[in-house]
Chains A and B, each alone.
Chain A
Amino acid sequence: MLLIHCPWCGIERPEIEFRCGGEAHIDRPGQPGDLDDRQWADFLYMRSNPKGLLAERWRHVHGCGRFFNAVRHTVSDSFVCVYKTGEPCPDLEALAREGAQ
């Protein structure tokens, strides 16, 4: 069971308190009507699904109830960092290089 740090609560809690909300930083288009079918399908369904670092949305659903983002390694399941919703996505390539060293 994963151990996840909630940046709002400032504590680590077990995975069962959280729900994963899929890949982060996929903004809902402001004017969905302006998108053609392919663009809309990309927004709805296409995800990066990397082997490596991935920024994900998590919600501390049985704690503070708030969403935050976390960078998780999809192979080792280790969490590299967490940050609050609205904060920019860290440089995943730089984080991967740091991790490799």
Chain B
Amino acid sequence: MTQRNRTQEGGRIDREAPVSFTFDGKRYQGFAGDTLASALLANDVHLVGRSFKYHRPRGIVTAGSEEPNALVGVARSQARHLSGEATPNLRATQVEIHDGLAAESQNRWPSLSFDIGAVNDKLSPLFVAGFYYKTFMWPKSFWNKVYEPFIRSAAGLGRAPKKPDTDTYANTYAHCDVLVAGSGPAGLAAALAAARSGARVILADEQAEFGGSLLHERGAEIDGKPASDWLAGALAELGDNPRVTLLPRTTVFGYFNHNFLALAERVTDHLAKPDPERPRERMWQVRAKQVVIASGAIERPLVFPENDRPGVMMAEAGRIYANRYGVLPGKRIAVATACDSAWRAAFDIAEAGGAIAVIADLRADPPADLVARAAALGVRVERGCAVTGVIGKTRVKRVLLGRISDAGVLSAGEVDVDCLLMSGGWTPNVSLHSQARGKLDWQADKGAFLPGDPVQAQGSAGSCRGVDGLAEVLADGARAGVAAATAVGHEGDTPEFAATGGEAGDGWWLGAVPHDRDAARVRAFVDFQNDVTAKDVKLAVREGMQSIEHIKRYTTTGMATDQGRLSNMNALSIASGALGNEIPQVGLTTFRQPYTPVTFGTLATTSRGDLFDPVRKTPIHDWAAKQGAAFEDVALWKRAWYFPKGGEDMHDAVARECRTVRESVGLFDATTLGKIEIVGPDAAEFLNRIYTNPWTKLGVGKLRYGLMLNEAGFIMDDGVVGRLAEDRFHVTTTTGGAPRVLAHMEDYLQTEWSDLDVWLTSTTEQWAVIAVQGPKAREAIAPLVDDIDLSGDAFPHMSVREGHVMGGIPCRLFRMSFTGEAGYEINVPPSRARAIWEAVWANVEKLGGCAYGTETMHVLRAEKGYIIVGQETDGTVTPDDVGMTWAIGKKKPDFVGKRSLARPDLVAEGRKQMVGLLTKDGKTLLEEGAQVTVERSPARGTSALGHVTSSYRSPAAGRPIALAMIAGGRARIGETLHVPMPDGGIAVEVVRPVFVDPEGTRLNV
């Protein structure tokens, strides 16, 4: 297999290690050390993708992570590719090839060279800036059936994988004195300087090899050595230093508050057969005392007609492919530039064997030494000359030249080439500085935004802050490294490096290049990935967009995966020209995290599947699972929902469980309830202040239902509180509310009532709770209780005793009910809970009882009209709204929320009040959340009186029952209201919210 564009020698690839890979199913060969882009170019493949909007053929433009066109789907092997496990939208310029790698182009059908979607290019007048807003407006009926499906099918470039990700991802945390982002000469000098002073250093670079521009500098020398030799020595020094962590293939993608940085390390994607024990990628979360940003500068494209043809490439990218990868970007190459550095690219490529057909410099007087050297190489030079067009659909065939004169642009003929290198100068890469909230300063003489004063403990070094020349960049890096180390207490000398070469030189160009073509017919692209042209930007301005933020969103310029690092400055310059406003006044869009796209796997790391969220299980869980219980999630808990028997559905099981509890006895796992132990001489006073109820006179051994408000007067939690001693209370909370309630209590105790001597302890996991409810509850537990008199007189409803069960197991026995039946809650140590549960279960079974789940618990409590906080209440409900003024201690001077209960809006007439609803037909089950109105079919726009909060089939009532919050509800008892539904209104009678045993006689058996 031939690599027809490979040079005879040179580069950092390993010519002894051929690598075989496929692109769109065709097999190619490259060498170890190649990226997918360099290997494709070696095989003379320039056409690698279709553009987003117009489906125009596109080629490789850059050699870095800012690549806009060469986005490909990549799989480790053909098998994984075929099974739909390819990762979409990877930049071919960053993908390292390995044997078996399978890559495919995107956004084309049926094939890359023949793409049906390319009709969009012919229809381009329809797809001007803001076409979404203009095209998809009317008729309204088109939205669901036409526009949305069209937008959905056209959106995005790659195809998302269809299957769950089979790879693993890791997560690690790190601290360091100095984090250096970028390992070019500035970053290396900073890392060396900081490390030599004794600082702990992390050096991260998104590329596979450290070195940045040193990897492709030909002829540059540092300390008398070729740059690549010096680089090897520097890396050896850093590698030998135990205080230095080197992270290649690691992108610093997020710079967050207080020098917290997120890094994505690609660990195994570059390997053909990775160790399965190793993760695919690793997320680093680093807290750095100081950060040195050495992210370099990015070469800017020139905006001329047809500048997006495959074969048009950044000049520096051409130099990188030639020098670092031993690949010529073409056989016969034209160079369009406004900058000295592109001349050096031309010279390097010429030395590597490429033919430079012409260098067209927009400047009238490029430096004489460059012109002289071009002449010596026999290269044609055109001064004051622009490329005005490119012929060749899927590959550059010819370029048009135009001479810039006072009379405008005059045609200067055509040149046959197969590659065009362009350079509009350099844009300092200020993304991370901007992410760190640092402002930017406009430097008119350089045509660039440079980092302003940093906001965080951070500095920039090298060409990302406009420094040019290898010696200057090294010195700047050393300065920044020493400054960072000194700031964290590591004094050190500033290392000095003698260097020559590596200048970018002078010259730059911003905005569209002038041409002699028909402006209405040609397109010059500003943003390749999003297909935004110079015309689009001007149109956006004509249509009223004034801020660059608006222009960005209207045209989508700068919204590609490089966040506009390639396109922003040209777009900004064109916009500022159209607006007649200076560039700093038009502004630059803010760079945000992530720097480049990050895989979902890396962001999720191990938080997926079973590890996504903790699961809390009670000691009874396995027993319930064995009994075939269905479970529901309540907060993080798994709770037994119902226990179906012999083919029962949920409805049948719940009905049976409800009947059994009311007729004999039921066993219920209430372990998940929150529990808080409140202890101290002022415990009762603390409860007086935090709950609505009075607590001072509650006797030892008594229980009381407690209602908790927030300061605004709304119900936030409830639960039963038992007094175990004068200074000790056992408080229960709702299952989901436990942490919130404890935090609420701690807040008041610590910050408002430091006069109180009280201690709060979460005891949720110290007690498992076995609830035994029903007329035979006492029979079920009596044989197991060692030392508590269970008789009704000695242990009445709403009492608590401490004692023992099953021969000495300590317990707190509550006599209480959430079902309306007599019942007990046995609080026992979790380690013994299963044994006790099974012993109680044996008795319950003998008595004809059953185990029941949360659904039955809900039905039983609704039959009694007991509220559930969060179901009947929604954060705007007061005690009076749910008929619970009885729970308010009238004589207490103050409690949390008391003052608010007198607010005008909380005492106003017409508030929603809890009532019961019975459907008139006695059969229909209402939907929870359904609205309640006066009329059967209310006119459009009629306000509802309220809504249904709970609705169940009640075996005890023999019909469906519901609870509802209805405006002025208590005064409407006896009235008929309606619940409008799509198939007609349902007539309901408003009743008191108690459906079973309104006198509560069953509680006291």
Contacts from A to B (Cβ < 8 Å)? 1-3, 14-15, 19, 21, 27-28, 31-33, 35, 37, 40-41, 44, 57, 59, 61, 65-67, 76-78, 85-86
Q: How far is the CA of A79 from the CA of B899 in the complex (A)?
A: 35
CB < 8 Å neighbour of B260 from A14, A19, A85 = A14
B258 and chain A: residue at smallest CB distance: A3
Q: Is B743 an interface residue (CB 8 A)?
A: yes
The answer to whether B743 touches A61 (Cβ under 8 A) is yes
The answer to whether B258 touches A33 (Cβ under 8 A) is no
Contact of A21 with B904 at beta-carbon distance under 8 Å, contacts A3-B287, A32-B898, A77-B257 already known? no
The A-contacting residues of B in range 712-754, CB under 8 angstroms, are 712, 743, 746-747, 750-752, 754
**Which B residues are CB-close (under 8 A) to A28?**
711, 752
Q: How far is the CA of A76 from the CA of B950 in the complex (A)?
A: 47
The answer to whether A77 touches B894 (Cβ under 8 A) is no
Q: Is B398 an interface residue (CB 8 A)?
A: no
The answer to whether B751 touches A1 (Cβ under 8 A) is no
CB < 8 Å neighbour of A31 from B259, B894, B900 = B894
Q: How far is the CA of A66 from the CA of B760 in the complex (A)?
A: 12
Contact of A85 with B258 at beta-carbon distance under 8 Å, contacts A33-B899, A44-B711, A44-B900 already known? no
What's the nearest-Cβ distance from chain A to residue B799, in Å?
33
**Which A residues are CB-close (under 8 A) to B712?**
44
The answer to whether B899 touches A1 (Cβ under 8 A) is no
What's the nearest-Cβ distance from chain B to residue A92, in Å?
19
Contact of A37 with B257 at beta-carbon distance under 8 Å, contacts A3-B287, A59-B746, A86-B754 already known? no
CB < 8 Å neighbour of B746 from A37, A41, A65 = A65
The answer to whether A85 touches B257 (Cβ under 8 A) is no
Q: Is B54 an interface residue (CB 8 A)?
A: no
Name 29 interchain pairs, CB-CB below 8 A, sorted by A.
A1-B257, A1-B260, A2-B260, A3-B258, A3-B260, A14-B260, A15-B257, A21-B747, A31-B894, A32-B894, A32-B898, A33-B894, A35-B899, A37-B903, A40-B899, A40-B900, A44-B711, A59-B743, A59-B746, A59-B747, A66-B750, A67-B746, A67-B747, A67-B750, A77-B257, A77-B258, A85-B750, A85-B751, A86-B754
**Which B residues are CB-close (under 8 A) to A37?**
903-904
What's the nearest-Cβ distance from chain B to residue A27, in Å?
8
Q: How far is the CA of A85 from the CA of B746 in the complex (A)?
A: 13
What's the nearest-Cβ distance from chain B to residue A76, in Å?
6
**Which B residues are CB-close (under 8 A) to A31?**
893-894
The answer to whether A76 touches B260 (Cβ under 8 A) is no
Q: Residues of B within 8 Å of A, CB-based: how many?
A: 24
Q: How far is the CA of A66 from the CA of B750 in the complex (A)?
A: 7
Q: B245-264 toward A: CB 8 Å interface, digit per residue (1/0)? A: 00000000000111110000
Q: Is B806 an interface residue (CB 8 A)?
A: no
Q: How far is the CA of A40 from the CA of B711 in the complex (A)?
A: 10
What's the nearest-Cβ distance from chain B to residue A97, in Å?
19
Q: How far is the CA of A19 from the CA of B752 in the complex (A)?
A: 17
**Which B residues are CB-close (under 8 A) to A61?**
743
Q: Is B437 an interface residue (CB 8 A)?
A: yes
**Which A residues are CB-close (under 8 A) to B259?**
3
What's the nearest-Cβ distance from chain A to residue B750, in Å?
5
The answer to whether A1 touches B256 (Cβ under 8 A) is yes
Q: Is B232 an interface residue (CB 8 A)?
A: no
B752 and chain A: residue at smallest CB distance: A28
Q: Is B455 an interface residue (CB 8 A)?
A: yes
The answer to whether B258 touches A1 (Cβ under 8 A) is yes
Q: How far is the CA of A21 from the CA of B751 in the complex (A)?
A: 11
The answer to whether B893 touches A67 (Cβ under 8 A) is no
Q: How far is the CA of A21 from the CA of B746 in the complex (A)?
A: 12
The answer to whether B903 touches A40 (Cβ under 8 A) is yes
B904 and chain A: residue at smallest CB distance: A37
Q: How far is the CA of A67 from the CA of B745 in the complex (A)?
A: 12
**Which A residues are CB-close (under 8 A) to B287?**
3, 14
Q: How far is the CA of A2 from the CA of B260 in the complex (A)?
A: 8
Q: How far is the CA of A41 from the CA of B752 in the complex (A)?
A: 18
**Which A residues are CB-close (under 8 A) to B257?**
1-3, 15, 77
**Which B residues are CB-close (under 8 A) to A1?**
256-258, 260
**Which A residues are CB-close (under 8 A) to B437?**
76
**Which B residues are CB-close (under 8 A) to A40?**
899-900, 903
What's the nearest-Cβ distance from chain B to residue A66, in Å?
6
Q: B61-103 toward A: CB 8 Å interface, digit per residue (1/0)? A: 0000000000000000000000000000000000000000000
The answer to whether B743 touches A19 (Cβ under 8 A) is yes
What's the nearest-Cβ distance from chain A to residue B676, in Å?
13
A77 and chain B: residue at smallest CB distance: B257
Q: How far is the CA of A14 from the CA of B285 in the complex (A)?
A: 11
The answer to whether B750 touches A76 (Cβ under 8 A) is no
Please list the 9 inter-chain residue pairs (A to B) with the smallest Cβ-Cβ separation, ordered nearest first.
Answer: A32-B899, A3-B258, A1-B260, A67-B750, A28-B752, A77-B257, A2-B257, A67-B751, A2-B258
What's the nearest-Cβ distance from chain B to residue A38, in Å?
11
What's the nearest-Cβ distance from chain B to residue A41, in Å?
8
What's the nearest-Cβ distance from chain B to residue A19, in Å?
7
**Which A residues are CB-close (under 8 A) to B904?**
37
Q: How far is the CA of A37 from the CA of B899 in the complex (A)?
A: 9
B899 and chain A: residue at smallest CB distance: A32
Q: How far is the CA of A85 from the CA of B747 in the complex (A)?
A: 11
What's the nearest-Cβ distance from chain B to residue A57, in Å?
7
The answer to whether A76 touches B455 (Cβ under 8 A) is yes
**Which A residues are CB-close (under 8 A) to B893?**
31, 33
What's the nearest-Cβ distance from chain A to residue B590, in Å?
14
B711 and chain A: residue at smallest CB distance: A44
A40 and chain B: residue at smallest CB distance: B899
B710 and chain A: residue at smallest CB distance: A44
What's the nearest-Cβ distance from chain B to residue A23, in Å?
12
Q: Of residues B750, B894, B904, which shows the largest number of chain A Cβ atoms within 10 Å of its Cβ?
A: B750
**Which A residues are CB-close (under 8 A) to B256?**
1
Q: How far is the CA of A61 from the CA of B904 in the complex (A)?
A: 36
Additional A-B contacts beyond A3-B258, A37-B904, A40-B899 (11; CB < 8 A): A2-B257, A2-B258, A3-B287, A28-B752, A32-B899, A33-B898, A40-B903, A44-B900, A67-B750, A67-B751, A76-B437
Q: How far is the CA of A43 from the CA of B337 in the complex (A)?
A: 66
**Which B residues are CB-close (under 8 A) to A2?**
257-258, 260
**Which B residues are CB-close (under 8 A) to A44?**
711-712, 900
Q: How far is the CA of A33 from the CA of B894 in the complex (A)?
A: 8
The A-contacting residues of B in range 882-913, CB under 8 angstroms, are 893-894, 898-900, 903-904
Q: How far is the CA of A59 from the CA of B751 in the complex (A)?
A: 10
Q: How far is the CA of A59 from the CA of B904 in the complex (A)?
A: 33
Q: How far is the CA of A24 from the CA of B746 in the complex (A)?
A: 16
Q: How far is the CA of A31 from the CA of B899 in the complex (A)?
A: 9
Q: How far is the CA of A85 from the CA of B259 in the complex (A)?
A: 27
**Which A residues are CB-close (under 8 A) to B260?**
1-3, 14
What's the nearest-Cβ distance from chain B to residue A74, in Å?
12
The A-contacting residues of B in range 499-538, CB under 8 angstroms, are none
The answer to whether A57 touches B746 (Cβ under 8 A) is no
Q: How far is the CA of A65 from the CA of B893 in the complex (A)?
A: 29
**Which A residues are CB-close (under 8 A) to B899?**
32-33, 35, 40
Q: How far is the CA of A13 from the CA of B711 in the complex (A)?
A: 30
What's the nearest-Cβ distance from chain B to residue A39, in Å?
10
Q: How far is the CA of A66 from the CA of B754 in the complex (A)?
A: 12
Q: How far is the CA of A27 from the CA of B424 in the complex (A)?
A: 62
What's the nearest-Cβ distance from chain A to residue B740, in Å?
11
What's the nearest-Cβ distance from chain B to residue A17, in Å?
13
The A-contacting residues of B in range 538-562, CB under 8 angstroms, are none
**Which B residues are CB-close (under 8 A) to A86?**
754
What's the nearest-Cβ distance from chain B to residue A34, in Å?
9
Q: How far is the CA of A73 from the CA of B900 in the complex (A)?
A: 32
**Which A residues are CB-close (under 8 A) to B751?**
21, 57, 67, 85
**Which B residues are CB-close (under 8 A) to A35?**
899
What's the nearest-Cβ distance from chain B to residue A99, in Å?
12
What's the nearest-Cβ distance from chain A to residue B702, in Å?
29
Q: How far is the CA of A1 from the CA of B456 in the complex (A)?
A: 13
**Which B residues are CB-close (under 8 A) to A32?**
894, 898-899
Q: How far is the CA of A13 from the CA of B712 in the complex (A)?
A: 33
Q: How far is the CA of A32 from the CA of B892 in the complex (A)?
A: 12
